[in-house]
Amino acid sequence: MKAVDEKTLSNFIQNLLDGNFYEAHEDLEAIWFARRFEDSDEIKLIKGFINASVSFELKKKGKETQAEKVWQNYLKYLPLLDEVYSTHKEKYIYISKIINDLKNKKIEYKKKDIYEKFL
């Protein structure tokens, strides 16, 4: 069982901010895949974050319909943010803010200076 760790979460954030959405997906996939059969809100939330990064990658490739479908999967898991008990909860909240800001174009990837405090 692969534990959720700060380095992996920081790598995920860095890849999101750099616009490396496929790599961001890969960062969390290593955790999720090993634990995908667990009935854990934290693992389901991580699956949601993976879906968000996949959605961004699809959008970057011009696949709008597929991106929106995967985005809906992210939204399905997002309410777990309020329920999850984890030592990483603050970082999960931060990740969800970055994802929201990227989706709403409040920030552009590669313009990340305001977000680097958690890296």
> pLDDT digit of tens for each residue in the chain (119 aa)?
678 999 999 999 999 998 999 999 999 999 999 999 999 999 999 999 999 999 999 998 999 999 999 999 999 999 999 999 999 999 999 999 999 999 988 666 555 554 454 44
C-alpha distances (whole Å) from 41 to each of 36, 58, 75, 83 are 11, 25, 14, 7
Measured in whole angstroms, how far is the alpha carbon of residue 26 from the centre of its chain?
10
Domain coordinates of the chain in residue numbers? 6-118
